[in-house]
Amino acid sequence: MIVAVMAIIAVDSQLILAHPVGYHAVVIKNYAMSKIIQAENWPIRDCQLKFDSTSARNMCIRAVARSKKDYLLCKQISDSTNLNACIRDVAREIQDVSLCKHINDEWQHGLCVVGIARDAQDTRLCQSLTGQSREYCFSEVAEATSDLKLCDESGGYKSGCIDTIKKKTRDVNEKKITKDVAIEIAKRRLQKESFANDIDFGKFTVHFREKTNDYVVDFACKGCNEIFPGLWSGGYSVAVDANTGNIKEGGFGPYKR
């Protein structure tokens, strides 16, 4: 059970809803956020020059630090929340658990180790933690590996750990349509539309929605930019039922973010 980290940040006197970790199908409704996302390719000084908001500058520095894989850049961040998150980002990006020691907050330090342990599927890293962090670590690795036995080490997370793995296994068994087949179904559907020439069929993302048991295939429009990995500034979406392969009505597009 991955905790979806939602960040509310102030940019240009507006509230922006940043994306939850691991989920791309979120609508970014303000251009200022797309500028922060683009910051990965900027010199660090541009974060100070291009943003008036302190929170936006901190988010910008965080993006640059992760891109450059340099945790020392995180030290330019003025608030502890983004500072800790920045170090976690870099540590996870380069899979270096030793960087987690630079986080003073105990729970945030634990999250840093947990993220790397989950990616590496390595319970030995969990052994270095104590209390709730250790339990959470085992539950995350268990879910990443679909190993029910590891849920026994997850304490208060055990029930959720078992339920998540069983549901994931059940979903896999129940899906009659694979992701690749769903992509082809969506592509063939859009190729019949009058706006087919406006679609870049080589640029797409696909994700599975558990609640509705379908795949959402998201194609970029020609000339549209990627404002976040797998998130287009404009495009066309198709929902394909995972059991029947039928196209669900509505939502073809075009849309703009």
Mean pLDDT of the chain: 80
Would you tell me how many other CB atoms lie within 10 Å of the CB of residue 27? 10
Tell me what pLDDT residue 174 has.
Answer: 60
Summarised one tens digit per residue, pLDDT across range 218-238 is 999 888 877 766 678 888 889
Whole-number pLDDT of residue 251:
61
Which carries the bigger pLDDT value, residue 247 or residue 30? 247
Q: What confidence category does residue 171 fall into, taking pLDDT thresholds of 50, 70 and 90?
A: low
DSSP H or E stretch at residue 200? strand 199-209
Euclidean distance between CA atoms 84 and 91, whole angstroms: 11
In this predicted structure, what is the pLDDT of residue 7? 36
The answer for residues whose C-beta is within 8 angstroms of residue 217's C-beta and 6 or more apart is: 182, 183, 186, 187, 204, 205, 206, 237, 238, 239, 240
Q: What does DSSP assign to residue 20?
A: P
Q: What is the mean pLDDT of residues 177-183?
A: 90
* 240 phi and psi angles, rounded to 5 deg: -115, 125
- The reported pLDDT for the residue numbered 143 is 93
Q: Is the pLDDT of residue 195 over 70?
A: yes
**Of 146, 161, 155, 130, the residue nearest 2 (C-alpha):** 161
What is the distance in angstroms between the CA of the first residue and the CA of the last residue of the chain? 29
What does the pLDDT look like over 82-111, one tens digit per residue? 999 999 999 999 999 999 999 989 999 999
| pLDDT higher than 80, residue 139 | yes
Give the pLDDT confidence of 19-43 residue by residue, as tens digits: 333 323 333 334 444 455 455 566 7
